[in-house]
Amino acid sequence: MLARSAEEPPSGDGWAFEIKWDGVRALAYVEDDLRLESRTGEDITRRYPELGGLPASVDRPAILDGEIVAFDEDGHPSFQRLQARMGLTSPIQVTRRTRDTPVTYMVFDVLYLDDRLTIELPYEERRRLLAGLELEGPSWQ
**pLDDT tens profile 61-119:** 999 999 999 999 999 999 999 999 998 889 999 999 999 999 999 999 999 999 999 99
Residue 2 pLDDT exceeds 80: no
**Amino acid at the residue 76:** H
Q: Is the pLDDT of residue 17 over 80?
A: no
User: For the whole model, what pTM was predicted?
Assistant: 0.90
Neighbouring C-beta atoms of residue 24, cutoff 10 Å: 23
Q: How far apart are CA 138 and CA 141, in angstroms?
A: 8
> Which has more confidence, 94 or 16?
94
Percentage of the chain exceeding pLDDT 70 = 97
| Three-class secondary structure assignment of 32-52 | CCEEEEECCCCECHHHCHHHC
Whole-number pLDDT of residue 3? 66
Catalytic residue among 3, 5, 20, 75: 20
Rounded CA-CA distance 52/45 in Å is 8
**Residue 20 appears among annotated catalytic residues:** yes
The string of pLDDT tens digits covering residues 38-60 is: 999 999 999 999 999 999 999 99
